[in-house]
Homo-oligomer: A and B are copies of this chain.
Amino acid sequence: MPADTRRAWETVLRSIEADLLSGVLKPGDHLPPERALAAEQGVGRSSVREALRVLEVLGLIRTATGSGPSSGAIIVALPGGGMSALMRLQVAAQGFAVADVVKTRLVLEASVASELATACASDHPTDSGPTAPDLSVARQLLDAMDRPALTEAEFLALDAQFHLSLAEASGNQVVTAMMAGLRSSIESYVQAAVPNLQSWPQTSVRLRSEHRDILAAIAAGEPTDAAARVRAHIDGYYEESRITPGPAAPERALSA
Contacts and interface: CB of A to CB of B under 8 A. Distances in A.
Interface of A: 9, 17, 20-21, 25-28, 46, 49-51, 53-55, 57-60, 75-79, 82-83, 85-86, 88-90, 92-97, 100-101, 103-104, 107-108, 111, 171-175, 177-178, 182, 188, 250, 253-254
Given A26-B94, A95-B60, A104-B174, A20 B89 contact: yes
Nearest to A61: B93
Is chain A's interface secondary structure helix, strand, loop, or mixed overall? helix
Contacts of A86: 58, 79, 82-83, 86
Contacts of A53: 9, 50-51, 53-54
A27 B253 contact: yes
Contacts of A75: 93
A78 B103 contact: no
Contact of A60 (B79, B90, B100): B90
Given A54-B53, A79-B95, A79-B96, A178 B90 contact: no
Given A77-B94, A100-B171, A104-B175, 14 more contacts: A27-B95, A27-B253, A27-B254, A46-B46, A46-B49, A50-B50, A53-B53, A54-B54, A58-B86, A60-B95, A75-B93, A77-B90, A103-B175, A104-B172
A178 B92 CA distance: 17
Nearest to A185: B174
B254 A95 contact: no
B100 A172 contact: yes
Contacts of A96: 79, 173-174, 177
Nearest to A22: B92
Given A49-B50, A53-B9, A254-B27, A77 B95 contact: yes
7 contacts: A49-B50, A53-B54, A55-B89, A76-B254, A79-B90, A95-B173, A100-B172
